[in-house]
Amino acid sequence: MIGFEHLKKISHTSPSKIVFLVIDGVGGLPRPETGKTELESARKPNLDQIAKESICGLIDPVSPGITPGSAPGHLAIFGYDPVKYTVGRGIIAALGIDLELNPEDIAARGNFCTIDNRGIITDRRAGRISTEINTELCQLLNEKITVNGAEILVTPVKEHRFVLILRGEGLSPQLTDSDPQQVGLAPKKVDALSPSAQRTAEIANEFVSRVKSLLQDKAPANMVLLRGFSQHPDIPSMPDIYKLKPAAIAIYPMYRGLAKLVGMQLLPAGDNITDQLKSLHQHYSDYDFFFIHFKATDSRGEDGDFEAKVHAIEEVDAALPNLLNLNPDVLIVTGDHSTPATLAMHSWHPVPFMLRSNWCRFDSVTEFSERACLSGGLGRFAAVEIMPLAMANALKLDKFGA
């Protein structure tokens, strides 16, 4: 891909609209009983009709063999090299619960855990305490713990998980984890990875030491483990690179967070794909790029529930007429990675992709599936190439070079 510095120069604003439907984890694997993947098993007349009018292919979100997390998966399809632009674990956790972050905040992912009387970890998840107990404990920490040099914000996530924010001036995320990632060891001291992080390391260690005193009688949640200290990454925004006015219609906080990270406006998304498409209609004239995120395909894939994933695909398909009636200049349908139900996890398999526009030079693919897209006109390609293709098909890119 040519660099952002070149894309900035050749991108221009125009009235044409790009709609980007991301069916999370849509790629799959054949079920042994039928030899068909989730997409091949679903009844999906609308997706297949789009395939007939599209140029199709298969995307590699990162590169062959690499299974992407949600952050690299989405950054790649938004045009960001997912190896160059990374989002730390702490920031991901904060985005995942819709925390408002300042650019200088340091975020860490936290676990409540259990230590024995010698200080050795016996359970990294504190017996998976309830979210209610977690919430009470976080409130306690927020009330009782103050540390010189930084404001401390502890926000509960589910069960034993929380997010720690250190807020203050001149803090650095160049820190090691306190979480040794196994039982039988003591929590580690947080170390500075650069001299400028020394003070922040002291603050983190001071926090942990106060927590230890405060929770000593709260077993099984009598200690915390911290990892993934990170700061909001410095990512060039989509409006800056592409001169787009982009908006996101995503229900889950993680995807809203990723969208915000790249400069999208967040629009109301309601509770399901039908609500999302209503919102698309309401705001269609105000933006020129829309990211619509559909989650259930990934969730059911991770559950290992093949049938339920098939139904989720059918649910998207059934909602599509209320997208197709807008007839966007460029319509893209793909996923951020594959989540085969037979594997019950994100996977490295390339993801079916289709792009429909008046200028897409459509191919002979007649179905939206892994096998069919293999013979598509785009072949197999890197997900970071999607955005230049979308922009070109929307006639928003000037010629490169004289």
With respect to a second copy, which residue has the nearer C-beta, 6 or 281? Answer: 6
In this complex, which beta carbon is closest to a second copy, that of residue 118 or of residue 399? 399
Number of residues that bind a second copy (CB under 8 A): 62
Q: Which of 13, 45, 64, 119 touches a second copy (CB under 8 A)? A: 64
- Smallest gap from residue 57 Cβ to a second copy (A): 9
Residue 361 CB, nearest approach to a second copy (Å): 5
Site for a second copy, residues 205 to 264, rule: CB under 8 A: 228
Q: Which is nearer to a second copy, 276 or 347 (CB)?
A: 347
Structure tokens at 269: 């998304």
Decide if 246 contacts 239 (C-beta within 8 A): yes
Write down the least CB distance from residue 165 to a second copy, Å. Answer: 17
| Strand residues in 116-222 grouped as ranges (E) | 121-123, 151-156, 161-167
Q: Determine which residue in the list 13, 43, 83, 151 makes contact with a second copy, applying CB under 8 A.
A: 83
Instruction: Retrieve residue 224's tokens.
Output: 């915390």
Residue 209 CB, nearest approach to a second copy (Å): 27
Determine, following the binding rule CB under 8 A, whether residue 6 of this chain makes contact with a second copy.
Answer: yes
- What is the footprint of a second copy within residues 15-54 (CB under 8 A)? 29-30
Q: Where are the alpha helices (DSSP H) in 232-385?
A: 238-242, 253-261, 273-283, 296-303, 306-319, 321-324, 370-373
Residue found by looking up tokens 């042994």 in the block: 32
- List binders of a second copy among 328-387 (CB under 8 A): 340, 342-343, 345-349, 359, 361, 363-364, 370-371, 374-375, 377-381, 385, 387
Question: What residues between 151 and 170 interact with a second copy by CB under 8 A?
Answer: none
Q: What's the CA gap between 187 and 180, in Å, rounded?
A: 6
CB 353, CB 363: distance < 8 Å = no
| Dist CA 99 CA 248 (whole Å) | 17
Q: Where are the beta strands (DSSP E) in 4-116?
A: 18-23, 55-60, 106-115
Phi, psi of 222 (to 5 degrees): -110, 15
Q: Do 202 and 189 touch, CB atoms closer than 8 A?
A: no
Lookup: tokens for 366: 């007649």
The token pair at 263 is 């400069």
DSSP state of 218: S
For a second copy, the closer CB: 219 or 343: 343
For a second copy, the closer CB: 237 or 364: 364
Angle CA(272)–CA(277)–CA(282) in degrees, nearest 5?
Answer: 125
Q: Candidates 67-75, 183-191, 283-291, 296-304 — which segment interacts with a second copy by CB under 8 A?
A: 67-75
Closest to a second copy by CB, 134 vs 347, is 347
Q: Which is nearer to a second copy, 63 or 146 (by Cβ)? A: 63
Q: Which residue has the tokens 């001036």?
A: 169
Contacting residues toward a second copy, per CB under 8 A: 1-3, 6, 10, 29-30, 62-72, 82-83, 86-89, 92-93, 228, 340, 342-343, 345-349, 359, 361, 363-364, 370-371, 374-375, 377-381, 385, 387-393, 397-402
